[in-house]
Amino acid sequence: WLIFGGASLVLFLAILGFGAFYLGTHPQSHGVTIDPENVEANEAFQRENLGITQVDDDKYIVNVVASAFNYDLGSDEDGNAVSHLEIPKGSTVLFQVVSTDVVHGFNVAGTNVNMMVEPGYISSMEVQLNKAGEYTLLCNEYCGVGHHMMHATVEVV
């Protein structure tokens, strides 16, 4: 039984290693890498491009920089940090999220937007939000003492 247990472990690790190193599988990041210490090197994550941007009639991009313990959604005209997003119902939204420190979660509770945000990768997901309402955007990966304070709101109008 010990040999069987050991062999199973080797087999599982081999499958995991094949996926990670040969197939280059990473959770919802599509293999796009970014330097966590310098996310601004990517235009999408420069301060003025954070938050929601309309790119077409019914297409939006939401760029977010996650860090302990905050989602940076840019600033409004008065320079205040944005913590509320309004998305027109039925439009297509591409969420792009990066982390500058540890692993964070990006979950719009009640929708199928649920990503792991790993430092070094751009997590992206395109969705259509068809149900109006106010949703809570929250971190669902334990990231430190302020984990529970990491949230914002997403309103589909």
Q: Are 151 and 124 in contact (CB under 8 A)?
A: no
Q: Are 54 and 87 in contact (CB under 8 A)?
A: no
User: Is residue 114 a contact residue for ligand CUA (CB under 6 A)?
Assistant: no
Q: What is the DSSP pairing of strand 70-72 with strand 133-138? A: unpaired
Q: Are 27 and 118 in contact (CB under 8 A)?
A: yes
User: Is residue 87 a contact residue for ligand CUA (CB under 6 A)?
Assistant: no
Applying CB under 6 A, which of residues 73, 115, 139, 154 lies at the interface with ligand CUA?
139
Element (H or E) spanning 66, and its range? Answer: strand 59-67
CB closer to ligand CUA, 99 vs 124: 99
Nearest distance from C-beta of residue 92 to ligand CUA, angstroms: 26
User: Is residue 150 a contact residue for ligand CUA (CB under 6 A)?
Assistant: yes
Applying CB under 6 A, which of residues 72, 104, 124, 137 lies at the interface with ligand CUA?
104
Applying CB under 6 A, which of residues 143, 152, 154, 156 lies at the interface with ligand CUA?
143
User: Is residue 154 a contact residue for ligand CUA (CB under 6 A)?
Assistant: no
Q: How far is CA 130 from CA 83, 93, 101, 127, in A?
A: 21, 11, 33, 9
Give me the residues that bind ligand CUA (CB under 6 A), please: 69, 104-105, 139, 141-143, 147, 150
